[in-house]
């Protein structure tokens, strides 16, 4: 066994084998995999091993397409062919028009990744799968590339190719410890000796947190017991003359695929069960949980109704084994939060179908520093520190119970709510607030007219539309108050703080005390990595000279990792998180200055406190830091308050606002208003697939700066020319917005992809942002939006249709 290597991958299931293989494809051959037992002896061996192209976003579709293409190549390898039933086709059923509308959107989204789905009616579903009934069925989504694969053969084939490229695989080699050294390299301790390496990868399936504990971390991954059975032979399948398509049924919570001349039928029962919460037997290897078919009786009855042939055949084998889930159901693939040279590829509940693509993207991140797709949807840092095992288990149960039910826009399921709140959360709830969830934080979405107000789940504008319009109107004409909790806030101090941040940002950073600026961080490839507001706060009784760094709530762990990773060892810079200590109250509207002046001493006039200013003060008697910035396009102030004083500040603002028409507004109103201003959202419009010039951030880039991260790569990209351009669109539809991922078409070809969409209440336009081909970015260019299967006109407009000169927010 080697004593020194570049990468050690821990775990020999699909995640580990795929990562090892793809590392060799990226050119790294000095890599090893260690497995505590035999390859595929964990979850992989009992996987139902379905391989679908369906995903909830383009990154997931892209990595699944890679998996399918890779598996097809492996199956056709004359030296080591494997069993892969490719292209049997699959149907996702639906019994509501809302589900069908969702399928039409996902079809539009997949088209942008060169994947063709088909939305079919109930009769066509039955024609393609003659064993199903059309009772209580409207139609479904057809995936022509759906299929299944042999799990053990797949992993062996990947390991074989990795070995042929120079990698090594050590079986029956349990890891007993992990030690990280001062230079961020690792020693992996095993029962057969130690291996020193640069990088470690946790690919340990349901034993993920056994290895995580050796690093001193915990991952939000929980296991669920999952049952399926294999039937005896079914004559209709034997005599069909073709393989039956796969079936996934959100109506009855089951799936099935052909297995020999019978069926493999799996269940996602409501009476489900977590597994391994209090530890896992070390001898649980190639093992299963006890059968418990009584638990799936209700689901089985629905399966019988949908597929009567099941009532006429016997059960050959029952399989009940653990599968892993995360808080949102998507895996964790990428850097481990708070660690250097440590990655994970875990929580793969659909590991066999997706694992080829996950290992592909992870290998790119390890070798290249970034993957070709933006991988935020699978990034391990997308969950905050609230993600403990108890919350993970609750969300895993909920996700399991809704396995085939996609999330609708504005749908927030009930499990694990109130994980992160502030002192005014119950106050605003009592005032009628409906809440959304941002990185675990309960944030006001809009104010309900009554306690029993529940908008329908739909891709159309819902019943809250007029409520949001009224909130926007009051912000435009009077003044509104909004809580922005969870906003990521770092306090950066030290003699080198300003120089450090100047190196991190691609544009100018504020130099004067009491001033605020917006800037962008790039990765080493010159692509957009992050967005942050910087505020220079002079020394006071609240602290020394310091810089506040503010960014999206979801970026809490991501941004800390990025900043810490680029600190030089000799730099005098300290970074402290205030995210859980401070909350923002946003005061917005033409009467905002009057309200602020009524409850805070000082000169708040345009001359005394101009736009992009920062000042410490008191709101009533609550200490606060006020920034003159706006995300709404109206005169606005961000009021940052310690959570211990938040309720006092809230009361003072409400009392001061009584004579000025102050009303609460929520996140939906904010999002609608930012669309009218051309303001972008991180990980919606700001992604690592495009550089700042392609994203329309020209004014925030200063190529004449001596140094910033990504400068060399960005300069080369400028010379090569853009691949896409971000544009604003007016969509010719009053019923529904454009949703992220939807395709833009011209002459039958995909020419762009939507990143955001919403109704602009102040400009009365249906607005969208999209990345389009550069030659289509000119104002007035017409194209069509693939809008739930219909072609809707979309026209490029100026990026800020409301107050393009920013006169209102500067007033």
Q: Across 620-683, where does the E strand assignment appear?
A: 622-627, 636-642, 662-664
| CA distances in angstroms from 123 to 126, 127, 243, 435, 686, listed in the order given | 5, 6, 19, 40, 42
To which residue do tokens 């941002």 refer? 438
pLDDT single digits (tens) 390-441: 999 999 999 999 999 999 999 999 999 999 999 999 999 999 999 999 999 9
Which residues touch 780 (CB under 8 Å, ≥6 apart)?
795, 796
| Contact yes or no for 100/118 (Cβ under 8 A) | no
Which residues touch 593 (CB under 8 Å, ≥6 apart)?
604, 605, 606, 635
Q: List alpha helices for 286-416, DSSP H.
A: 297-306, 351-368, 389-401
Instruction: For the chain, state the CA radius of gyration.
Output: 27
- Residue 595 is predicted with a pLDDT of 98
The answer to pTM > 0.85 is yes
What is the spatial distance between Cα 351 and Cα 346, in angstroms, rounded to a whole number?
9
| CA distances in angstroms from 90 to 65, 125, 585, 742, 787, listed in the order given | 15, 10, 49, 22, 23
DSSP 88: -
| CA distances in angstroms from 589 to 157, 321, 466, 476, 639, listed in the order given | 62, 56, 19, 6, 14
Per run of 10 residues, the mean pLDDT along the chain (length 811 residues) is 97 98 98 97 93 96 98 96 97 98 98 98 97 97 97 97 98 98 97 98 97 97 97 95 96 96 96 95 94 93 96 95 96 97 96 95 98 98 94 97 96 96 98 97 98 96 98 98 97 98 97 97 98 97 96 97 96 97 98 98 97 98 98 98 98 98 98 98 98 98 97 97 98 98 97 98 98 98 96 97 97 95
Beta-sheet pairing, 546-551 with 574-577? unpaired
CA dihedral 647, 649, 652, 653 (to 10 degrees): -110
Name the strands in the sheet holding 528-537, side by side, starting at the edge strand that comes first in the sequence: 516-522, 528-537, 546-551, 488-493, 574-577
DSSP 234: -
- Residue 351 is predicted with a pLDDT of 85
Q: Which two tokens stand for residue 506?
A: 């691609």
Which residues touch 282 (CB under 8 Å, ≥6 apart)?
none
Count of alpha carbons within 13 Å of 721, Cβ hemisphere only?
3
To which residue do tokens 């009392």 refer? 655
To which residue do tokens 């010719």 refer? 732
């Amino acid at each position: 066994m080697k004593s020194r290597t570049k990468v050690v991958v821990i775990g020999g299931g699909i995640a580990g084998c795929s990562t090892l293989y793809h590392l060799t494809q990226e050119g790294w051959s000095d890599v090893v995999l260690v497995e505590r037992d035999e390859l595929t002896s964990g979850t992989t061996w009992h996987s139902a091993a379905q391989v679908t192209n369906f995903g909830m976003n383009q990154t997931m579709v892209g990595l699944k397409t890679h998996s399918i293409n890779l598996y097809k190549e492996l199956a056709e390898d004359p030296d080591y062919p494997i069993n892969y039933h490719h292209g049997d086709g699959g149907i996702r059923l639906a019994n509501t028009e809302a589900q069908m509308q969702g399928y039409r959107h996902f079809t539009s989204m997949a088209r942008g990744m060169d994947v063709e789905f088909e939305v079919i009616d109930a009769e066509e579903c039955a024609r393609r799968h003659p064993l199903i009934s059309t009772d209580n069925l409207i139609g479904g989504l057809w995936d022509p590339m759906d299929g299944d694969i042999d799990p053990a053969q797949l992993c062996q084939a990947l390991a074989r190719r990795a070995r042929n490229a120079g990698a090594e695989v050590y079986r029956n080699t349990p890891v007993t410890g992990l030690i990280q050294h001062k230079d961020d390299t690792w020693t992996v301790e095993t029962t057969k000796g130690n291996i020193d390496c640069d990088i470690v990868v946790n690919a340990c399936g349901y034993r993920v947190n056994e290895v995580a504990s050796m690093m001193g971390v915990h991952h939000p991954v929980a296991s669920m017991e999952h049952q399926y059975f294999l039937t005896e032979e079914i004559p209709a399948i034997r005599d069909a003359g073709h393989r039956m398509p796969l079936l996934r049924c959100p109506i009855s919570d089951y799936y099935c695929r052909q297995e020999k001349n019978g069926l493999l039928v799996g269940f996602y029962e409501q009476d489900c069960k977590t597994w391994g919460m209090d530890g896992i037997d070390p001898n649980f290897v190639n093992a299963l949980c006890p059968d418990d078919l009584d638990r799936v009786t209700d689901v089985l009855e629905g399966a019988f109704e949908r597929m009567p042939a099941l009532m006429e055949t016997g059960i050959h084998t029952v399989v009940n084994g653990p599968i892993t889930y995360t808080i949102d159901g998507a895996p964790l693939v990428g850097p481990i939060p708070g660690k250097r040279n440590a990655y994970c590829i875990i929580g793969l509940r659909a590991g066999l179908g997706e694992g080829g693509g996950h290992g592909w993207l992870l290998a790119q991140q390890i070798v290249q520093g970034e993957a070709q797709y933006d991988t935020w949807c699978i990034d391990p840092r997308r969950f905050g520190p609230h993600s403990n095992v108890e919350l993970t288990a609750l969300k895993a149960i909920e996700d399991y119970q809704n396995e085939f039910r996609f999330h609708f826009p504005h749908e927030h399921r009930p499990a694990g709510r109130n994980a992160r709140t502030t002192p005014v959360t119950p106050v605003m709830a009592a005032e009628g607030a409906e809440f959304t969830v941002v990185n675990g934080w309960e944030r006001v979405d809009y104010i309900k007219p009554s306690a029993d107000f529940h908008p329908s789940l739909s891709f159309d504008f819902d019943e809250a539309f007029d409520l949001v319009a009224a909130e926007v109107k009051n912000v435009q004409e009077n003044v509104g108050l909004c809580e922005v909790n969870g906003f990521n806030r770092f306090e950066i101090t030290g003699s080198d703080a300003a120089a450090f941040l100047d190196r991190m940002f691609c544009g100018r950073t504020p130099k004067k005390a009491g001033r605020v600026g917006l800037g962008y961080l790039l990765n080493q490839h010159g692509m957009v990595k992050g967005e942050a507001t910087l505020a220079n706060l002079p020394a006071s009784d609240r602290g020394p000279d310091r810089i506040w760094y503010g960014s999206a709530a979801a970026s809490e762990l991501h941004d800390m990792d990025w900043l810490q990773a680029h600190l030089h060892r000799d730099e005098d810079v300290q970074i402290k998180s205030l995210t859980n200590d401070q909350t923002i109250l946003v005061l917005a509207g033409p009467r905002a200055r009057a309200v602020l002046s009524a409850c805070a001493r000082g000169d708040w006039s345009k001359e005394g406190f101009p736009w992009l200013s920062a000042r410490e003060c008191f709101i009533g008697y609550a200490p606060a830091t006020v920034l003159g910035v706006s995300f709404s396009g109206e005169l606005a102030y961000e009021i940052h308050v310690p959570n211990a004083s938040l309720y006092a500040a809230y009361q003072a603002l409400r009392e001061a606002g009584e004579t000025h028409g102050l009303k609460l507004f929520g996140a939906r109103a904010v999002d609608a208003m930012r669309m009218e201003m051309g303001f972008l959202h991180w990980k919606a419009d700001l992604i690592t697939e495009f550089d700042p010039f392609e994203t329309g951030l020209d004014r925030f880039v200063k190529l004449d700066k001596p140094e910033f991260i990504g400068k060399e790569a960005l300069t080369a990209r400028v010379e090569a020319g853009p691949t896409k351009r971000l544009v604003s669109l007016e969509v010719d539809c009053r019923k529904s917005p454009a949703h992220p991922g939807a395709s833009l078409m011209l002459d039958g070809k995909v020419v762009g992809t939507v990143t955001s969409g919403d109704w602009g209440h102040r400009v009365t336009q249906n607005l969208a942002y999209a990345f389009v081909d550069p030659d289509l970015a000119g104002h007035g260019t017409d194209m069509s939006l693939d809008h739930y299967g219909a072609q809707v006109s979309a026209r490029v407009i100026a990026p800020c249709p409301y107050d393009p000169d920013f006169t209102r927010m500067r007033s």
